């Protein structure tokens, strides 16, 4: 299979500019600045590139939202605040191929006439931030960033900005607030970032993987990129497989790869002869699938048909022997901890869910707790400024729908059937 | 102009109007906590969710701008469930300590619970998140973090109105709370407004705390007398005691705010009041009846004029008096006594602090009115003081409780030069300590009239209750005095005086209490 991103990941020196250039790095940027700006955007549109941050919004369309009027400077913000549990693909790109990101963002900035880009990187990614810093310095030194890039007269300044440790800051408007030095609260929309974003300026926020795809698209053409994927989503995706499988890790796969194939062939199946119990397909907020539901293509539309999402394609494999109540409690702890506290249904709902699921697992569940959880989810979903309430409610609902008997048993027996072992 | 329907009722509103305001226009109240007309839209309480046709999700009415042909519903099952759901969420970690909460009775959690909730609690009591209660965060405010529903009104007020940003959100999720930064308490002159805008009992007024349950209070519209701004207020009272001022919305004067100094002005109507007429003879105070004292005052003024000429009498007017009162005072001085010794001053003891927002340097509500009514101020007052100091004034009628910015000693020294000083005042002070005769008059809460603020806006204040003790309505007292000086006036209440005033005084020409209304009217000139 042809790969877009991971081709040279095995080469430890690929993160340095010389090696990167040895493999043709920054030629796409050179090509891009010889192209009309619209042609670059058109190429990305033809590539059918959908945002890799989880929502899957078409990148070319998003770029088109910038106001035509050029009176205000524009900003690109790279969302490198990868925090969705089960997701670790952007981290891999930044540690193995930081120049893919730098080149991709430079091309995007050139195409959109943006002279200032921020890479907002998750605070915990200390090592990756160092690597990125170094890559950015190298790119400056080689004339791919800074003033008059490759003699084109185009200037671009890039700042690597580290977050301070909040999941919510990966929500793009929180990212912007945090970047501005404010509390990381999502913003009420409209206005959308394309009109009023970072520092009040028109802003494009793109995911790391999305931008890292751009150099290949420019080199090989949008159509060829599109052909690597499926009808509704061009190119490849970095799929992260975690859990007790033989070969956990990041794999570059076609956007419509079969999910069973991912788990059993690509990742080698479960370890220690364990049987599969459940799969969370696209990062912790996506609804869980039972083991009998995974014979399905992993593209956005097929997942939606199953009532779940491809999300960040962080596949979490859950083996038999795992208590689903306890697994949900872990997730509910996470969302209650990470809710920013701005909107009532999320602030209070995530905390309440954590308490109810917690008491069921502790053997103190009450007869009506399951109805209560489902009703709370209903009162949370779609009722808040950002999607965090949905992100907490979706797993809760799906765990109950698909593993109801485990919850019932906890309540009935007043204890966890799996004991204290995780 | 977009036209839309809300619950089937059609309404036309200007471009840019939000659903919440369009609904208000046709009498549909959409519940809200974070929305406040005078602050930016936050959209975070999620109480104002409504259904908008063609939108799959419920929309916040506070932030959604109407479009032509929009169909909005606030009365569907989906909306009701959402609103009840939000209310339930708000209440789970709320302490529900209404019996000891000052907000009870004017609490939006109580009001909306009665209207939209009435649900039974599904929350385990032991699960409630505990936060710190009774925190003195500075200014006039006590914070109870447990009662807070995190609507962010206070945070926005301090960002957008005062620009001082003392309050911020701390922590996350259901442990979120508002607080000040360590060692940085509230530090502005508008903190009292925080208790007003707080929809629940999280921010309460130190001054009003535990003083009275609000349902025992009645209110009447008034005007703050603390400075020349004339902030519109609602005065709350029980019996003949004022309990608090709250700002009354007037976009042209104070929007929805008032300062912390003005907020405590009400105390003057309660404390250290002059309540009984008395005379001071040989250093001893002797209580009098009005009927006994008033003829004496009239006699001494007339006597001074008759014996030593009109300029042996003097009148010092007060910018704390209403337009109506000042008009009568001028006529007594000029027409009845015929003296040229009539003056007022806006000076008061203290620093005359002003801030370019609401607080004016002039600490009187009606200096502008005195000017427009042609009562000499400024140098005229200083000249009169010189005359008094030179012993040329034999009888002085003095309004107000202070004599300009003179200290107690200076006041005593100056007034000792006048054989007869009659004071018409409301409160004990440097003047009442030495005046020969003291005439207790009604406080601003006990009489009515108009003040003209610094910008020439004439605003009405009202009597909330009858004068305390033996204090008397000023207009009644001035009319009796004038008639004893031979006037033959038949004024009956402030309205009749204002009609006379509007008929002769150019700046007020054409004005009436009707045209002034509840929000005031600009005087000419």
Q: Is the pLDDT of residue B285 over 90?
A: yes
Q: Assign residue A344 the CATH number of its domain.
A: 1.20.1440.230
Within-domain flag for A274: yes
**What gap in Å lies between CA A391 and CA A381, rounded to an integer?**
9
Kindly state the tokens that stand for B183: 């060692």
Q: Mark whether A129 and A37 lie in a shared domain.
A: yes
Helix/strand/coil (H/E/C) assignment for every residue in chain A: CCCCCCCCCCCHHHHCHHHHHHCCCCHHHHHHCCCCHHHHHHHHHHCCCECCCCCCCEHHHHHCCCCCCCCCCCEEEEEECCCCCCCCHHHHHHHHCHHHHHHHHHHHHHHHCCCEEEEEECCCCHHHHHHHHHHHHHHHHCCCCECCHHHCCCCEEEEEEECCCCHHHHCHHHHHHHHCCCCCCCCCCCCCCCCCCHHHCCEEEEEHHHHHCHHHHHHHCHHHHHHHCECCECCEEEEEEECCECCCEEEEEECCCEHHHHHHHHCCCEHHHCCEEEEECCCCCCCCEEHHHCCCECCHHHHHHCCCCCCCCEEEEEECCCCHHHHHHHHHHHHHHHCCCCCHHHHHHHHHHHHHHHHHHCCCCCCCHHHHHHHHHHHHCCCCCCCHHHHHHHHHHHHHHHCHHHHHHHHHHCCCCCCCCC
In a domain, A74, yes or no: yes
Task: Return d(Cα B203, Cα B157) in angstroms, integer.
Answer: 13
Our CA-based measurement puts residue B184 at a distance from the nearest CA of chain A, in whole angstroms, of 19
For residue B412, the surrounding DSSP H or E stretch is: helix B408-415
Q: Is residue A297, in this structure, part of any structural domain at all?
A: yes
**Using one digit for the tens of pLDDT, what is the confidence trace for A212-236?**
999 999 999 999 999 999 999 999 9
Backbone torsions φ then ψ of B116, nearest 5 degrees: -120, -20
B208: its two tokens:
């009003």
Q: Is residue A179 part of a domain?
A: yes
For helices A388-402 and A369-380, angle between their N-to-C axes, nearest 10 degrees: 150
State whether B46 and A383 contact (CB < 8 Å).
Answer: yes
> Could you say which residues from 154 to 193 on chain B have a Cβ atom under 8 Å away from some Cβ of chain A?
168-169, 171-176
Contacts from B493-498 at CB under 8 Å and sequence distance 24+?
B493/B448, B494/B322, B494/B324, B494/B447, B494/B448, B494/B449, B494/B450, B497/B324, B497/B325, B497/B327, B497/B328, B497/B449, B498/B323, B498/B324, B498/B449, B498/B450
Residue A87 lies in a domain: yes
Q: Do the chains contact at B150 and A355, CB–CB below 8 Å?
A: no
Q: Suggest the residue from B121, B173, B199 to mutate for an interface test with chain A (most A CBs closer than 10 A).
A: B173
| pLDDT over 60 at A87, yes or no | yes
> Within this chain, do residues A30 and A153 fall inside the same structural domain, yes or no?
yes
Please name the residue of chain B whose CA is at the shortest distance from the CA of residue A358. B127
Nearest to A344 among B63, B90, B172 (CB): B90
Q: Which domains does chain B have, with CATH numbers?
A: 3-75 (3.10.20.740), 124-269 (3.30.70.20), 278-522 (3.40.50.740)
In a domain, A375, yes or no: yes
Q: Please name the residue that has the structure tokens 């194939």.
A: A261
Give the residue from chain A lying closest to B168, CA to CA: A183
CA distance B379 to chain A (A): 54
B59 touches chain A (CB under 8 A): no
pLDDT at A1: 80
Are A120 and A157 within one domain? Answer: yes
- Residue ending a domain, choose from A291, A319, A347: A319
Q: Please list the residues that pair with B343 across neighbouring strands.
A: B316
Position A241 pLDDT exceeds 80: yes
Q: Chain B contacts of A349, Cβ < 8 Å?
A: 89
- How many percent of chain A have pLDDT more than 90? 98
Contact A166 B81 (CB under 8 A): no
CA distances from A375 to A2, A117, A257, A265, B442 (A): 47, 43, 35, 39, 60
pLDDT of A422 strictly over 70: no
Closest CA to B341 of B375, B313, B371, B373: B313
Is the separation of the CB atoms in B153 and B197 below 8 Å? yes
Shared domain for A245 and A175, answered yes or no, is no
Judge residue B388's burial from the number of C-beta atoms within 10 Å of its C-beta, 0-12 exposed, 13-18 middle, 19 or more buried.
Answer: buried
> Which residues 6+ apart lie within 8 Å of A255 measured at CB?
A228, A229, A230, A233, A234, A235, A236, A237, A298, A299, A300
Q: Is residue A301 over pLDDT 60?
A: yes
Residues A313 and A334 in one domain: no
- Do A265 and A337 share a domain, yes or no? no
Same domain assignment for residues A35 and A159: yes
**A320-378 confidence digits (pLDDT tens):** 999 999 999 999 999 999 999 999 999 999 999 999 999 999 999 999 999 999 999 99
CB-CB neighbours of B99 under 10 Å: 6
Same domain, A53 and A120: yes
DSSP state of B26: T
Residue B406 DSSP SS3: coil
Dist CA A63 CA A415 (whole Å): 53
Residues A109 and A254 placed together within one structural domain of the fold: no
Cβ–Cβ under 8 Å, residues A35 and A150 = no
Span B239-250, average pLDDT: 98
Q: What is the CATH number of the domain that holds A191?
A: 3.40.50.11540
pTM attached to this predicted model? 0.95
Q: How many other C-beta atoms can be found within 10 angstroms of the C-beta atom of residue B119?
A: 12
Contact B442, B474 (CB under 8 A): yes
Per DSSP, helices labelled H in B335-390 are 367-372, 379-389
Peptide bond into A191 cis (omega under 30): yes
Asked whether residue A303 carries a pLDDT value surpassing 90, the answer given is yes
Distance to chain B for A344, nearest Cα, Å: 5
Pairing verdict, β B449-452 and B437-440: unpaired
Q: Domain count of chain A?
A: 3
Q: How many CB pairs under 8 A join A and B?
A: 95
Reported as type and span, the H/E element at residue B420 is strand B420-425
A23 shares its domain with A101: yes
Report whether the peptide linkage leading into residue A190 is cis, meaning its omega lies within 30 degrees of zero: yes
Lookup: tokens for B369: 């009115």
Measured CA distances, A329 to A324, A358, B89 (Å): 8, 6, 20
**Spatial distance between the Cα atoms of B164 and B158, rounded to a whole number of angstroms:** 5
Rounded Cα distance between B133 and B148, Å, is 10
pLDDT of residue B117: 87
Distance of alpha carbon B294 from alpha carbon B490, whole angstroms: 17
Mean pLDDT of B433-460: 97
Q: What are the strands of the beta sheet with B420-425, ordered from one edge? A: B284-287, B278-281, B437-440, B420-425, B395-399, B313-316, B342-343
- Residues A396-417 have pLDDT tens digits of 999 999 999 999 999 999 999 9
Residue A93 maps to a domain: yes
Is position A2 within any domain?
A: no
Query: Which residues lie closer than 8 Å to A384 by C-beta, 6 or more apart?
Result: A343, A345, A346, A390, B46
Residue whose entry in the numeric block shows the structure tokens 């059937």: A417
Helix (H, G, I), strand (E, B) or coil at B448: coil
Location of structure tokens 């939108």? B55
Task: Report angle CA A392, A396, A400 to the nearest 5 degrees.
Answer: 170
Return the CATH number at A274. 3.10.20.600
How does pLDDT run across B63-82, given as a tens digit for each residue? 999 999 999 999 999 999 99
pLDDT value of position A144: 98
8 Å CB contact of B86 and A183: no
In the predicted model, what is the mean pLDDT of residues B146-173? 97
Nearest to B58 among A338, A382, A385 (CB): A382
Please indicate, yes or no, whether residues A221 and A247 belong to a single structural domain of this protein. no
Distance CA A111, CA A402 (A): 46
In sequence order, the β-bridge partners of residue B199 are none
The model's pLDDT over A148-159, given as tens digits with 9 standing for 90+, comes to: 999 999 999 999
Of the residues A184, A199, A228, the one at which a domain ends: A228
Q: Distance between CA atoms of A135 and A103, rounded to whole angstroms?
A: 10
Q: At what angle do helices B77-92 and A344-361 cross, to 10 degrees?
A: 70
Judged against a pLDDT cut of 70, whether residue A421 lies above it is answered with no
On whether both A135 and A242 belong to a single domain, the answer is no
DSSP H or E segment with residue B328: helix B323-331
For A:353-412, CB contacts with B below 8 A are 355, 359, 368, 372, 378-379, 382-385
Task: Tell me the C-alpha to C-alpha distance, in Å, between residue A420 and each of A322, A362, A363, A417, B103.
Answer: 11, 10, 12, 9, 47
Structure tokens at A45: 């549109």
Q: Identify which of A102, A212, A116 has the alpha carbon closest to the alpha carbon of residue A155.
A: A116
Q: Does residue B176 have a pLDDT over 50? A: yes
Mean pLDDT (whole number) for B373-384: 95
Whole-number Å distance between alpha carbons of B53 and B67:
11
In tens, the pLDDT along A16-73 reads 999 999 999 999 999 999 999 999 999 999 999 999 999 999 999 999 999 999 999 9
Residue B110 host element (H or E): helix B108-112
| B-chain residues near A350 (CB < 8 A) | 173-174
For residue B58, the chain A residues in CB contact (below 8 A) are 382-383
Residue B18's alpha-carbon distances to A345, B6, B32, in angstroms, are: 22, 12, 13
- For the segment B456-505, what is each residue's pLDDT rounded down to a tens digit? 999 999 999 999 999 999 999 999 999 999 999 999 999 999 999 999 99
Cβ atoms within 10 Å of A315's Cβ, excluding its own: 31
Measured from the Cβ of residue B510, the count of other Cβ atoms closer than 10 Å reads: 10
Residue B255's φ and ψ, nearest 5 degrees, are 50, -115
| Residue after which a domain boundary falls, among A228, A257, A272 | A228
Nearest to B28 by CA among B48, B53, B7, B12: B7
Which domain covers residue A263, as residue numbers?
Answer: 236-319
CB B206 within 8 A of CB B109: no
The torsion region of residue A347 among left (phi > 0), alpha (psi -120 to 50) and beta comes to alpha
């Amino acid at each position: 299979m042809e790969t877009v991103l991971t081709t040279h990941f095995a080469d430890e020196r690929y993160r340095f500019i010389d090696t990167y250039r040895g493999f043709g790095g920054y030629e796409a940027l050179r090509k891009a600045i010889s192209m009309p700006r619209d042609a670059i955007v058109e190429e990305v549109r033809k590539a059918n590139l959908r945002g890799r941050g989880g929502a899957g919004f078409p990148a070319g369309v998003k770029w088109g939202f910038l106001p035509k009027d050029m009176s205000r400077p524009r900003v690109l913000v790279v969302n490198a605040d990868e925090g969705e549990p089960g997701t670790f693909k952007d981290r891999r790109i930044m540690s193995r191929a930081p120049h893919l990101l730098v080149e991709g963002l430079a091309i995007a900035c050139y195409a959109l006439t943006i002279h200032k880009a921020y890479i907002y990187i998750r605070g915990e990614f200390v090592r990756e931030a160092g690597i990125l810093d170094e890559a950015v310095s190298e790119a400056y030194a080689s004339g791919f960033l800074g003033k008059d890039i490759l003699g084109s007269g185009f200037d671009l300044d890039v700042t690597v900005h580290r977050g301070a440790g909040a999941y919510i800051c990966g929500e793009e408007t929180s990212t912007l607030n945090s970047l501005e030095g404010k509390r990381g609260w999502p913003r009420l929309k409209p206005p959308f970032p394309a009109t009023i974003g970072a520092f009040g300026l028109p802003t494009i926020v793109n995911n790391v993987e999305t931008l890292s795809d751009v150099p290949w698209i420019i080199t090989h053409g949008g159509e060829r990129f599109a052909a690597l994927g499926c009808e509704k989503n061009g190119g490849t995706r970095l799929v992260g497989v975690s859990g007790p499988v033989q070969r956990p890790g990041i794999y570059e796969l076609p956007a419509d790869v079969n999910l069973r194939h991912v788990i059993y062939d690509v990742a080698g199946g479960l370890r220690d002869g364990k049987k599969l119990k459940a799969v969370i397909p696209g990062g912790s907020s996506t609804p869980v699938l039972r083991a009998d539901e995974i014979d399905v293509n992993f593209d956005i539309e097929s997942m939606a048909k199953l009532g779940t999402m491809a999300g960040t394609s962080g596949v979490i494999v859950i083996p038999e022997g795992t208590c689903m109540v306890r697994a949900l409690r872990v997730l509910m702890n996470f969302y209650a901890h990470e809710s920013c506290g701005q909107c009532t249904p999320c602030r209070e709902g995530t905390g309440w869910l954590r308490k109810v699921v917690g008491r069921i697992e502790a053997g103190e569940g009450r007869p009506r707790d399951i109805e209560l959880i489902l009703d709370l989810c209903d009162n949370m979903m779609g009722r808040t400024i950002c999607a965090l309430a949905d992100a907490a409610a979706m797993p809760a609902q799906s765990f109950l729908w698909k593993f109801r008997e485990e919850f019932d048993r906890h309540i009935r027996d007043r204890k966890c059937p799996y004991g204290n072992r995780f | 102009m977009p036209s839309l329907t809300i619950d089937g009722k059609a309404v036309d509103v200007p471009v840019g109007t939000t659903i919440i305001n369009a609904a208000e226009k046709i009498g549909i109240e959409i519940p809200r906590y974070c929305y406040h007309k005078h602050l930016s839209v936050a959209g975070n309480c999620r109480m104002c969710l409504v259904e908008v046709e063609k939108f799959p999700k419920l929309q916040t009415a506070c932030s959604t701008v109407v479009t032509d042909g929009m169909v909005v519903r606030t009365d569907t099952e989906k909306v009701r469930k959402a609103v009840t759901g939000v209310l339930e969420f708000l209440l789970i970690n709320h302490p529900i300590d209404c019996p000891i909460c000052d907000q009870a009775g004017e609490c939006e959690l109580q009001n909306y619970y009665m209207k939209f909730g009435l649900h039974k609690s599904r929350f385990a009591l032991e699960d409630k998140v505990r936060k710190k209660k009774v925190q003195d965060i500075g200014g006039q405010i006590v914070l109870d973090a447990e009662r807070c529903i995190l609507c962010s009104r206070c945070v926005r007020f301090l960002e957008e109105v005062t620009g001082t940003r003392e309050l911020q959100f701390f922590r996350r999720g259901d442990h979120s709370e508002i607080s000040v930064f360590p060692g940085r308490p509230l530090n502005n002159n508008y903190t009292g407004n925080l208790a007003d805008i707080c929809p629940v009992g999280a921010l309460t007024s130190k001054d009003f705390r535990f003083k009275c349950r609000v349902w025992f209070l009645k209110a009447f519209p008034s005007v703050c007398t603390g400075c020349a701004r004339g902030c519109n207020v609602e005065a709350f009272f029980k019996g003949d005691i004022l309990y608090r001022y709250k700002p009354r919305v007037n976009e042209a004067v104070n929007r929805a705010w008032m300062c912390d100094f003005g907020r405590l002005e009400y105390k003057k109507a309660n404390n250290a009041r002059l309540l009984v007429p008395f005379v001071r003879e040989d250093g001893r105070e002797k209580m009098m009846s009005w009927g006994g004292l008033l003829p004496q005052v009239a006699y001494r003024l007339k006597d001074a004029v008759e014996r030593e000429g009109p300029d042996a009498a003097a009148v010092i007017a007060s910018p704390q008096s209403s337009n109506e009162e000042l008009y009568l005072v001028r006529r007594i001085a000029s027409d009845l006594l015929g003296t040229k010794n009539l003056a007022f001053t806006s000076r008061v003891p203290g620093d005359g602090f002003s801030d370019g927002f609401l607080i004016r340097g002039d600490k009187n509500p009606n200096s502008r009115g005195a000017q427009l009514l042609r009562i000499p101020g400024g140098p005229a007052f200083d000249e009169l003081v010189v005359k008094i100091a030179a012993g040329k004034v034999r009888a002085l009628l003095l309004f107000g409780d202070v004599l300009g910015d003179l200290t107690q000693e200076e006041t005593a020294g100056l007034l000792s030069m006048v054989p007869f000083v009659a004071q018409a005042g409301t409160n004990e002070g440097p003047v009442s300590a030495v005046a020969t005769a003291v005439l207790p008059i009604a406080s601003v809460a006990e009489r009515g009239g108009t003040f003209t603020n610094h910008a020439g806006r004439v605003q009405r204040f009202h009597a909330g209750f009858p004068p305390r003790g033996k204090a008397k309505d000023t207009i009644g007292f001035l009319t009796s005095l004038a008639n004893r000086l031979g006037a033959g006036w038949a004024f009956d209440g402030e309205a009749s005086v204002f009609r006379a005033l509007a008929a002769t005084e150019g700046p007020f020409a054409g004005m009436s209490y009707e045209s002034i209304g509840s929000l005031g009217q600009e005087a000419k000139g």
